[in-house]
Structure 1
Amino acid sequence: MHADDQVGEGVPADLAVFLRGAVDGRPVKIASSVCQGCGGRVFFVLVNASGAERECCGCGSRAFIADSEEYWNEEAWEDDEPGAAGCPCGGEEFEAAVAFSLAADGSVRWVALGLRCIKDGLSGVHADWKIDYGPTDHLLAMV
Structure 2
Amino acid sequence: MVIERRSPWWRGSVSSDLAEFLVAFSHGQVSEIVPARCDGCGDSVFVVGIDDDNGYAVRRCAGCDRPWVMLAGTDWAEVQRAVCPCGGELFEVAAGFTERVDGELGWVYLALRCTTDDALGLYGDWRITARPTRKLLDLV
Alignment partner of 1:38 is 2:41: yes
State how 1:43-122 maps to structure 2 within 5 Å. Answer: 43-49=46-52, 50-69=55-74, 72=75, 81-122=78-119
TM-score, normalised to structure 1, is 0.79
Equivalent pairs, count: 125
Is the deviation greater in 111-120 or in 24-33? 24-33
Alignment partner of 1:137 is 2:140: no
Q: Which runs of 5+ in 2 are unaligned?
A: 1-13
Is contact 1:44–1:56 with CA below 8 Å preserved after alignment? yes
CA distance in 2, matches of 1:17, 1:64: 24
Give the CA deviation at 1:112: 1.1
Aligned-pair Cα RMSD in Å: 1.9
More strand as a share of residues = 2
Q: Which runs of 5+ in 1 are unaligned?
A: 1-10, 75-80
Calculate percent identity across the aligned residue pairs: 40
Report the equivalent of 1:21.
24
Give the CA deviation at 1:128: 1.2
TM-score, normalised to structure 2, is 0.80
**2:115 maps to amino acid:** I
Secondary structure of 1:19 counterpart: helix
